[in-house]
Amino acid sequence: MSQFLSSVASREVAPLLALATKSLGAGRPADAIAPLREAALLEPFNATIQHDLGLAYLESGYVPDAIAALQRAVSIRPTYADAHFRLGIALEKLGNSGGAIVAYDRATQLLPSLTEAWFRAGALVYLLGHLDEAVGCFRRAAATGGKTQFGRLGNARALLIENRNKEAEQVLRQTLALDPESALAHDLLGNLLSELGRFDEARECFRRAIEIAPLLSGSYYEFVRCRPITGDDHGLLQRMESALATPKLEPTQVHRLHLAIGKAAEDLGDYSLAMRHFDAADAVRRSSSPFDSAAFSIEIDRLIARFTPKLIASAPGLGNSDATPVLIVGMPRSGTTLVEQILSMHPEVGAGDELNFWNERGAAWLRSGAAGDEKMFVLRQFLSTGAAEYLRVLRMIAPKAVRVTDKMPFNFLWAGLIHLAFPRAIIIHCRRAAVDTALSIHQTHFHPGLAFPTGGEELVAYFRGYRRLTAHWRNVLPADRFIEIDYEELTSAPQPVIQRIVAACGLAWNDECLHPEHNPRAVKTPSKWQTRQPIYRTSVERWRRYEPWLGPLRSLVADEPSALDAADAPPEEKAT
């Protein structure tokens, strides 16, 4: 009887699969869903049907349904490499980077020649800060893909991570010579050129990427940050607003597009429109990356409780005596990039950009839970291993530099731990008016996987937790190791502040540090345009332009007495 039913099911399934195949071949994946769903009911343990149903859902934009079908496919046939690969794509679209990496890893274990899986895994682990792993994935993409698009792009991305920018540019231009319609190559080249300060060329690359692939409309975010938007950019705002209606646009692209429109509106002086789009971007982000303010407050409490004055005082006997590291910390958008650009103009300083080293190890150590004598033993072991590994990272970046910077802003969480590991290291804390910092954060794209709020009461609470912790570091860390720089003072009177920074790092004075805009290094942060300008003050008290629309961020104004005293003073003009 079971054989008879199976035979009947097979006869009924065949025309359904033929209909689905015809729809998929004609580029109508939505029309393939119904016949594939019916076929899956008739043959529920057919992994191929589940895979094809998942693919149809995925290409039609029904991501949760795609994940469910593809998960059924891999549970039926665990060795189904293509199903694992497409499950990774679906999880990535949903913002589940960790799950996507696991799926890509399984796909490449089963089918090592799956070039695109290597490439996608590399892109995700790079965003999570695992640079060595990312290079490994991109190298595998290059090795397996050869002269295919993903093979060449994998090679380019590995070179970019290794800061071999000239070679990366050459590979990308070769790729575009062979395939002028490669939107990803245009986008990657645009990012590289903007990092190098070649903004006109970069804008053209982003324009072509969006033109070729409207699903990359989020690239408008980089496009508008290549220079201020003016009235001469006819129709740009309208084109970006129209792009929001692009079918199948992913949330990350929608998020970046709202931020791009907001930035353009601000440049054109329409602050009401700008804030509407910044708020919309924040709503998209929080829907996929909610932030737990209560958990963050508890983490701050634990750090303050663990790093007692007694423990900090024991640093010379616990840590490594090497003075190479210079940690530049603070809230994002507080001037950390500017300070790194200033310092790395010094011939004895190497720039490490934003390293995820302490974020990973600090969180792991905080979770260790050891107590008593065991706790101190674990700490000693952790500090010894961590310091040696960190120095290896810094030496790879700048083998001959006297000092090497690490401008990961979130290292403000780990300042005490870093001091224990390197008692002679300098920690430069960049401070900026709370409401200006929060507003700038609200206008900036951060990776969705980053546990960090970009607006609302959550950002206010985060800011206050950050201030509570940095006040603790100010009280317990040596004053000559924890140096604080105010953005407003730095931009008002650059030379004395820069002299203080250079002296704190134990370096001889060098006039080049006064001109960070001449720094030739690639800048990978959102401050690409700003860092190419002479030091200016137009970002001081920017919040006044947005005063009617600040919402919850308004409460941060009260944290700045000087802002309230200034009454209705207009923002200061640029000063070099």
Contact 399, 334 (CB under 8 A): no
Instruction: Give the whole-angstrom CA distance, residue 67 versus residue 83.
Output: 10
First-to-last alpha carbon distance for the chain, in angstroms, is: 87
Instruction: Give the whole-angstrom CA distance, residue 482 versus residue 109.
Output: 47
CB within 8 Å of 515: residues ≥ 6 apart? 345, 534
At CA 81, angle to CA 78 and CA 82, rounded to 5? 120
Residue among 168, 131, 130 nearest 152 (CA): 168
E runs forming strands in 392-451: 403-406, 426-431
Structure token pair of residue 429? 């804390």
Amino acid residing at 394:
L
Instruction: Give the whole-angstrom CA distance, residue 481 versus residue 326.
Output: 10
- For the CA atoms of 50, 97, 152, 199, what is the dihedral angle to 10 degrees? 130
The residues pairing with 485 across neighbouring beta strands, listed in sequence order, are 430
Structure token pair of residue 444? 């900036």
22 φ, ψ (degrees, to nearest 5): -65, -45
Contact 220, 241 (CB under 8 A): no
> How would you write 40-99 as a 3-class SS string?
HHHCCCCHHHHHHHHHHHHHHCCHHHHHHHHHHHHHHCCCCHHHHHHHHHHHHHCCCHHH
Instruction: Give the whole-angstrom CA distance, residue 432 versus residue 467.
Output: 11
Residue among 236, 239, 209, 203 nearest 222 (CA): 203
Give the length of the chain.
Answer: 576
Identify the DSSP state of 400: T
DSSP secondary structure letters along 103-125: HHHHHHHH-TT-HHHHHHHHHHH
Instruction: Give the whole-angstrom CA distance, residue 367 versus residue 378.
Output: 12
Instruction: Give the whole-angstrom CA distance, residue 184 versus residue 34.
Output: 33
Contact 251, 288 (CB under 8 A): yes
Centre a 10 Å sphere on the Cβ of residue 310 and count the other Cβ atoms it contains: 8
Residue 222 CA to its chain's centroid (Å)? 13
Identify the DSSP state of 29: H
The residue written with tokens 């995700």 in the block is 124
The pLDDT score that the predictor gives to residue 449 is 67
Structure token pair of residue 511? 């006039």
486 φ, ψ (degrees, to nearest 5): -95, 125
The residues pairing with 328 across neighbouring beta strands, listed in sequence order, are 428
Instruction: Give the whole-angstrom CA distance, residue 104 versus residue 126.
Output: 14
Structure token pair of residue 71? 């998960």
The beta-carbon contacts of 414-417 under 8 Å, at least 24 apart in sequence, are 414/358, 414/359, 414/362, 415/327, 415/329, 415/470, 415/473, 415/477, 415/482, 416/303, 416/306, 416/307, 416/311, 416/312, 416/473, 416/476, 416/477, 417/307, 417/358, 417/362, 417/365
The residue written with tokens 């030496």 in the block is 395
CB within 8 Å of 120: residues ≥ 6 apart? 88, 89, 92, 100, 104
Q: Is 189 helix (H, G, I), strand (E, B) or coil?
A: helix
Domains and CATH numbers, the chain: 1-111 (1.25.40.10), 181-288 (1.25.40.10), 302-565 (3.40.50.300)
The residues pairing with 350 across neighbouring beta strands, listed in sequence order, are 404
Going residue by residue through the chain, which has 576 residues, state the pLDDT in tens, using 9 for 90 and above. Answer: 333 334 445 678 889 999 989 988 888 999 999 999 999 999 999 999 999 999 999 999 899 999 999 999 999 999 999 999 999 999 998 878 889 999 999 999 999 999 999 999 999 998 777 888 999 999 999 999 988 999 999 999 999 988 899 999 999 999 999 999 999 999 999 999 999 999 999 999 999 999 999 999 999 999 999 999 999 998 999 999 999 999 888 888 999 999 999 999 999 999 999 999 999 999 999 988 889 999 999 999 999 999 999 999 999 999 999 999 999 999 999 999 999 999 999 999 999 999 989 988 888 887 776 555 567 778 888 899 999 999 999 998 899 999 999 999 999 999 999 999 999 999 999 999 999 999 999 999 987 767 899 999 999 999 999 999 999 999 999 999 999 999 999 999 999 999 999 999 999 999 999 999 999 998 888 888 888 888 888 888 999 999 999 999 999 998 765 433 333 333 333 332
Instruction: Give the whole-angstrom CA distance, residue 170 versus residue 523.
Output: 19
